[in-house]
Structure 1
Amino acid sequence: MRIIVVSDTHMPKKAKQFPTRLIQELYTADLIVHAGDWHSINVYNQLSTYGEVIGVYGNVDDNELKEVVPRRVVTEWEGCKVGIVHGHGDKKTTEKRVIEEFEGEELDLIIFGHSHLPLLRFVKKTMLFNPGSVTDKRRLPYYSFGVITVDHQGLRADHIFYSNKET
């Protein structure tokens, strides 16, 4: 199973269309995950043209989008239990908030966004994965998104980095 993971697209404010680098990967996806801050329902509709989409809303998302996607998701892929949440809130770091969000649940993977900072690390046996942003890298050198593979070998996650959000 090949999952393309995006977050913090902030469209159309930060970009009018998806970067070509992302579009190339969307064609290969078995599933597309968006970890919030889509900005509008149009992003959901555009992603849906490439395949099945699941996701959560973030702190800048409009009410129309909040009617389509929940605040958090717990799902299972090929026997791996996965939590998805945007990660916004008060106090603490984004990472601490997402860990607390799923406290008491045994998850293999937590996907989140909000910080725009690509992250891949483990807390105990749970992989934490933030894909970064495909349209708003802030002060980072690259834009990014994620590719998660789930197969008989287990769960693997990688970041795709690129420097031009137009191509």
Structure 2
Amino acid sequence: MKLALLSDTHGLLRPEVRKQLKTADAIFHGGDIHTQSIVDELRRYAPLYVVRGNNDGDWAAALPHDLTVALGGVTFYMVHNRKEVPAELPGVHVVVFGHSHKAVQEEKDGVLWLNPGSCGPRRFHQEITMMTAEVWDGKIRVEKITFPGEAR
């Protein structure tokens, strides 16, 4: 199963990102989406798992603050801000978060922590990134994708 992991789109789905979404079996969005139209478009590509970000306004009130999802034998916990992850995460293999606009892939105490970065408008002089992941039989392989891009 191929996953597309993105966060902090802030109202912009770049053509390069859309190309990645076309091959995804599921999409994870770590928040700061900006508009319902982005959510609607993402849902047209594949099943969408999404959490609300700190910049998502009243339109996003129905989106969950955090979410636990199991796919391909891997259990994911999603939240926008890493600081809001609970101290204990029994049964969780991967934490997906956003907020900082900086891509992170690190293992800590047997849990893989992933921030796909931001693939929306360039902010804070950060790279424009997202991630893809293959999950199968309780295993995961992750790839960071970096896009060239204007500030748009």
- Same fold at TM > 0.5: yes
Contact 1:113–1:132 (Cα < 8 Å) also in 2: yes
Listed as ranges, the gaps of 5+ residues in structure 1 are 88-93
Cα drift, residue 110 of structure 1:
0.2
Query: Residues 164, 152 of structure 1: CA spacing in aligned structure 2 closer, same or farther, 3 A cutoff?
Result: same
Cα drift, residue 164 of structure 1:
1.4
User: Equivalent residue of 1:46, what SS?
Assistant: helix
Query: Residues 126, 144 of structure 1: CA spacing in aligned structure 2 closer, same or farther, 3 A cutoff?
Result: same
Give the TM-score normalised by structure 2: 0.91
Cα drift, residue 31 of structure 1:
0.3
Return the alpha-carbon distance in structure 1 between the equivalents of residues 115 and 5 of structure 2. Answer: 9
Letter aligned with residue 66 of structure 2: R
1:50 and 2:35 correspond = no
Q: Percent identity?
A: 25
How many residues matched? 152
Query: Residues 81, 102 of structure 1: CA spacing in aligned structure 2 closer, same or farther, 3 A cutoff?
Result: farther
Return the alpha-carbon distance in structure 2 between the equivalents of residues 102 and 32 of structure 1. Answer: 26
List, as ranges, runs of 4+ consecutive aligned residues in structure 1 with deviation greater than 4 Å.
none
Q: Deviations over 1:23-53 (max 9, x none)?
A: 1111100001110010121110111121211
1:30 equivalent in structure 2: 25
Give the TM-score normalised by structure 1: 0.83
Counterpart among 92, 106, 109 of residue 94 in structure 2: 109
Return the alpha-carbon distance in structure 2 between the equivalents of residues 141 and 71 of structure 1. Answer: 25
Contact 1:4–1:29 (Cα < 8 Å) also in 2: yes
1:64 and 2:49 correspond = no
